[in-house]
Amino acid sequence: MKKIIKGLRASLLLSGLLLASTAWSTSLETVISGKHRELSSVRDQYRHPLETLTFFGLKESMTVVEIWPGAKGWYTEILGPYLKDKGKLYAAQFNADSSSDYYKSSRADFIKKLEASPELYSGVEVTTFNPPDYIDIAPEASADLVLTFRNVHNWYMRGGGTERVLSAFQAFHRALKPGGHLGVVEHRLPKNRSLDDQEASGYMREDYVIEIAQKAGFELIDGSEINQNDKDNADHPKGVWTLPPSLRLGEENQQHYLSIGESDRMTLLFRKKR
């Protein structure tokens, strides 16, 4: 009987009747190990996508919002295929009309990436996020899970400060269903460092992020050390961008920074209060 089933499955594959999407629905591990991530998977040793997304409670039937996936959509490569058949992914991208050429080109490149592989990303809906002006990342109270990876510092820096960070978390709260979850990964500033060091370093204090989330209407469920890196002291000439993958100092002390790896990161899971 097993041989018959195996032969039938092979026949269907050859005839093209077994859709590629079926393979994606098998498991999160299948998506993460997919050939489409061959280049991106180099970063898995630092970003631990399987452990991180499992900690955040990701399920294939969820409605998920990914905040600022950027041009490459590192996590979109996982979320898009995984959610395509049974769930929904909103990609809250940069503003297409931004005065920043980087934001405009990043969004354009991201959309090209989606359009080039509809078998992976046809279910992704692109929205616009730029707090406090553009905050409609998904229909109100529609999302099971909002995810933001290494973005909080961007809202804080360059004059944004606490007001802009709070507006971002309020947007997440608005998009989530009552009891929905928010997953945050962010470069971590040691708790004994001044909050002033958040302005230019790219690192944020964990207690600060938790406080802002609570002000926006979230409660902390749990924190994880999945993305911890004890080698990173968060004190570098070019801030977090001194480390890979940016390596802003070029060849200067490059081996040293490569040996540190990517930044030490907090990984926090919040729940929207009912």
Interval 102-126: pLDDT, tens: 999 999 999 999 999 999 999 999 9
**Whether the Cβ atoms of residue 42 and residue 74 lie closer than 8 Å to each other:** no
Q: What is the mean pLDDT of the chain?
A: 92
Global confidence as pTM: 0.90
pLDDT(2) > 60: no
* Non-local CB neighbours of 59 within 8 Å, separated by 6+ positions: 87, 144
Q: How many CB atoms lie within 10 A of CB 255?
A: 7
Q: Residue 265: left (phi > 0), alpha (psi -120 to 50), or beta? A: beta
CA distance 240 to 247: 9
Strand partners, 10: none
| Preceding amide of 132 cis, omega within 30 | yes
Structure tokens of 47?
A: 């970003």
Q: What is the 3-state secondary structure (H, E, C) of the chain?
A: CHHHHHHHHHHHHHHCCCCHHHHHCCCHHHHHCCHHHCCHHHHHHHHCHHHHHHHCCCCCCCEEEEECCCCCCCCHHHHHHHHCCCCEEEEEECCCCCCCHHHHHHHHHHHHHHHHCHHHHCCEEEEECECCCECCCCCCCCEEEEEEECCHHHHHCCCCHHHHHHHHHHHHHHHEEEEEEEEEEEEEECCCCCHHHHHHHCCEEHHHHHHHHHHCCEEEEEEECCCCCCCCCCCCCCHHHHCCCCCCCCCCCHHHHHHHCCCCEEEEEEEECC
pLDDT(42) > 70: yes
pLDDT(14) > 60: no
pLDDT(257) > 60: yes
CA distance 65 to 72: 16
pLDDT(16) > 90: no
Domains observed in the chain: 26-272 (3.40.50.150)
pLDDT(240) > 50: yes
**Whether the Cβ atoms of residue 248 and residue 241 lie closer than 8 Å to each other:** yes
pLDDT(15) > 60: no
Range of lowest pLDDT (98-102, 171-175, 178-182, 201-205): 98-102
* Residue the block writes with tokens 């692109």: 126
Name the nearest CA neighbour of 269 among 195, 230, 205, 219.
Answer: 219
Predicted confidence at residue 26, as pLDDT, reads 56
Predicted confidence at residue 69, as pLDDT, reads 98
pLDDT(22) > 70: no
62-76: per-residue pLDDT in tens? 999 999 999 999 999
